[in-house]
Every structure is written in C-alpha cells, then in structure tokens.
Structure 1
Amino acid sequence: MRAWDEKQLHWHLTTRRFGRQFVYLDEVDSTNRFLKENPEIFTLSGGVLIAGHQSAGRGRQSRLWSDCADSSLLFSLALRLHGQSDSKGMLSLLPAIALGRTIRNHDTGADVELKWPNDVLLSHRKVAGILAESSSTESGETIVIGVGINVNSIPSIEFAWPAISLWQGSAWHPSREVLLAELLNAWEPLFDAYMDGAFDSIRESWEELGPRYGSRMRRVEFNSVSEGEFVGLGLNGQLLLRLSSGEIQEVFSGDIQLQ
C-alpha cells in the first residue's frame, strides 16, 4: 500500500483541533468500530483515524461500504460533546456540507448535491457516505463520525445507488491527504457554529446544496412508505416532507428515494 504522507496533510491543514491528532492504519475492519472501542487514542476532540482499506466498512442500517485500497479516503473523527444533546442529528450534516463546499470551491461547475441524511452526490451518483455513531464513557459522550469518499476509483461491485469517484465527477483531482486537509478545514468552523447554537445557519447551508425545494421524494422504512415534496429541514436536521394531504411529515430515519 502507498504510505500516508503526513507532511502533505499538515502542510495544507489550517485547523486548530481537527486532524491535529491522527492515526493511520494500513487496514482495519471499520474505523468507526475501532475508534468507538479505543477512544483513549486521542486526547483532543477532533482526532482522526485514517485507514488505507476497510475490510468491513459500514454505512447506515449496517449496509456494506466497499472501497478500493488507497483509492478512497476512509476515516473517522471523534468529537467530545458538552451540551447540544438535543440537536445531535445535525452533526452528520456538517461533513456533507463541508465536502460539498470544498468540491464547489475547486470546481464551480461540479454538479454537487446533498442527499438526506448523509450522502454526497456528484452528477446524481454517490461519491461519499457518512455514518455518525455515539458512545459513552466515564469522561462523557463521544460522537464518532465516519466518512468514506471515492477519490480516484470506485469499487467494482454494484450498489443500490450508482457510485462515482471525485476524479470522475469533477475537475478537481486532489490526493487523499489534500482532500482530508481541505475537508477538515471546512468542517471545523461548521462544528464551532454548531456548538454556538447557529442551527438556522447550518440548515440554510445544507439546503443550499440539497435537493430543489418541492422535489418529489419517497420515504421507505420497513413496511412504511410515504411520498411528498421536500420543504426543507427541521430544527434538529430532520427532513420535512409535504404530503398530498398538506400535512408536513417530519422524517428522522428511513431511506429517501428521489423521484
């Protein structure tokens, strides 16, 4: 496997906390699982565990996340929370906003769209997925946010949602180290805004990159199916759908299919 270039990461990093502590592993089953079980490896909030390859990467609802070794950016970031427990649903929105903005900053013509709750699309195909999980220890609650980005290739297996790589879908072709640094640079101020309670600003930022207002969507969860129009995000980051009856449905979980 290609060695991780620590100097290149730090050269581009402008954060105060995010990424200032990191561990790189050539291979691990899941960066989220490893970090949840070993929270002591970082003394600062914002520590990052990076993997060259995940043998059992996971997405939402325990779905498989497959990657191409050294061709994907795979990492988990640990956040120690003090307060804001009622709005934790917004935390997984932050890296999606940060990645969408970062791609747009380098390629203004890139067709970037955020898919609720935690996917980033390029040209209507999935380039990144995000999974937020929480764990409690004696020192408090830690939120572990895993991010998987197809950088310069995509896995050969088929997924429910078509995949694309960053290099395929945009004119920006960064290394994994530069991509991580730029993503963390954009993510940290969003997290600071979250901790300051600037939830309206965060929702507006997501909606700027999200689906068009009034887009038709179908929400599926187990045997329950509902359809409606997208009308924004709620106070805690939940999806808001206007049903045919005119009722506004708050969606906190489930699969969202764009129509």
Structure 2
Amino acid sequence: MIPLDASAIQDPTLPWHVSVLEEVGSTSDWLKQQASDLPPNTVVFAESQTQGRGRRDNRWIAPRGKDLMLSLLFKPEAPLERWPRITTLAALAICRAIEDELPLQPRIKWPNDVYLSDHKVSGLLAETVSTRTGLMLVLGIGLNVNAREFAPGVVATSLLNELHSPALPELDRNSLAQRLLSMLHSEFQRLDADFSSAVAEVRERSWLLGRQIRALTPQGEVFGRVLDLNEEGHLILEFPNGTSHTLTSADEVRRV
C-alpha cells in the first residue's frame, strides 16, 4: 500500500491547502468542527474513517488505505442560491478525473453518485457550515479506488475492479487525488457563468436519462421516466399519465 502524501497531492498552482489524517470519524465532521480555525480552501484526506456518511446519514464504509475519502472547506464564488449547483459540478469533476486517468466511462446518477458498470464508485455530500467569517461549504467525497471486495448486498465497485486486471496491484491514489482536486477547481469556475455547458456535459454522462425511476422525495414517492435535465441539472420526469414534473431534490433514486 502506498500511503497518501499531502506533498504529492498538493499542486502549487491550485488554491487548495491539503492535509492527510491517519484516522478520523468523518472528514466532513472534522472540517465542520474546525471550520472557524481553518483557512478557506482546506482539503483533508483520511486513510481511514470510522463514521463516514452520505445522504440521510447512510454509512460510507471503506477499507483502510485503499480508497479516497476527502472533504473540502471553501466558499463558492457565487450567490448562496446557486451553491446547490456545486453537487452537479463536483460529480462532473469526479467523472473527468477518472476519464483523464483511466480508460473508464463513469456515469452520473443524480443527485450525488457516480457509477461504473451500473455499480456505485463514488458519492458526495455538500453541507453548509457557519464560521466566524460567514457561511461556507463542506463537500465530502468518497471514491472507491483500490478496494477489491464489498459487503454483501452493497452494489458498489472500484476503479481497480473495473479495469479487470487481476495482476495490477493498486492504482496511485496520490496522482488520482491531485487530478481530482484540479478538476474540482476547474469545474467550480463554471458555477456562475458557464453552468449551462456543464449541465450539457452531465447530460451526456447521465445514468438515468431515458430510464424509468422511482424517487423518494420529501413529498412522497414518485415514479416516472427521465426525459431530460433542466437548466439547473434537475430531472424532468414524465409520469405514467403523460404529465411532466421537475424533480429538484430526492433522498433516494432507483432505476426500475
């Protein structure tokens, strides 16, 4: 196992301040607790998380030293009402980082997952945090890199598994982490001025477009076919009765 190395991940041309923790409950919780004492654009990686989590407090379980578990603390350069776009841009950045490093074709499962071969390879969660200098965003990302096995019933995969090369011992997590931070910085520049073209790229990578889905929303369960994405990257659904509806949020989305 090649350990994560902050100096190998850090790119001096980018604004991120990178650190690596050996073990932490949750990188996002750690950043939220320390937010007022940390500079903006702080990124923390962990070799092991004991309380990693995703949406609805679902646990994110990963073997020590195999994958990428990180969180970023930053203030998006856009009005607050546009901050939800960060999730869309981050998912696109994850895809681009994978595509640049490996011969794989990731797909985006709205609202916050990345899939390979119909299995989850990455998830993300954006949360706001109040600091002494104002409101900031904490973005947590989990990316399965070198894990070979997953718990029974978990529909997941890793980058290494998808390469179908048993002789390959492991992928370079430091190189992948540096590429990911570069792609995140690049995509975040599109938050305000160029978001429509980002949505077009997300549309090309959508895992749900044209599919029948079941979504659990705050208003209840809905069924429909995904017709398109709107200008904010939300799903446009066609219901069985022929009417359409824009899905702006969901706790759970499944293809049926």
Whole-angstrom CA distance in 1 between matches of 2:118 and 2:156: 9
Deviates more, 1:246-255 or 1:139-148: 246-255
The counterpart of 2:156, out of the listed 152, 163, 167, is 163
Matched, 1:115 2:102: no
What is the Cα-based RMSD across aligned positions, in Å? 2.3
Residue in structure 1 matched with residue 237 of structure 2 by the alignment? 241
Contact 1:154–1:163 (8 Å) recurs in 2: no
- So what's the TM-score if we normalise by structure 1? 0.88
Residue in structure 1 matched with residue 255 of structure 2 by the alignment? 258
Letter in 1 for 2:236: L
Contact 1:68–1:155 (8 Å) recurs in 2: no
The counterpart of 2:83, out of the listed 81, 88, 112, is 88
Residue in structure 2 matched with residue 232 of structure 1 by the alignment? 228
Residues 2/182 of structure 1: CA separation in 2 closer, same or farther (3 Å cut): closer
Letter in 1 for 2:79: Q
Residues 50/184 of structure 1: CA separation in 2 closer, same or farther (3 Å cut): same
Deviates more, 1:23-32 or 1:161-170: 161-170
Residue in structure 1 matched with residue 145 of structure 2 by the alignment? 151
**Percent identical residues:** 27
Letter in 1 for 2:14: R
- So what's the TM-score if we normalise by structure 2? 0.89
Matched, 1:50 2:18: no
Whole-angstrom CA distance in 2 between matches of 1:132 and 1:50: 16
Contact 1:128–1:150 (8 Å) recurs in 2: yes
Residue in structure 1 matched with residue 101 of structure 2 by the alignment? 106
The counterpart of 2:204, out of the listed 204, 208, 213, is 208
The CA deviation at 1:134 is 0.6
Residue in structure 2 matched with residue 134 of structure 1 by the alignment? 128
Whole-angstrom CA distance in 2 between matches of 1:90 and 1:81: 10
Gaps of 5+ in 2: none
Residues 40/136 of structure 1: CA separation in 2 closer, same or farther (3 Å cut): closer
Whole-angstrom CA distance in 2 between matches of 1:37 and 1:82: 22
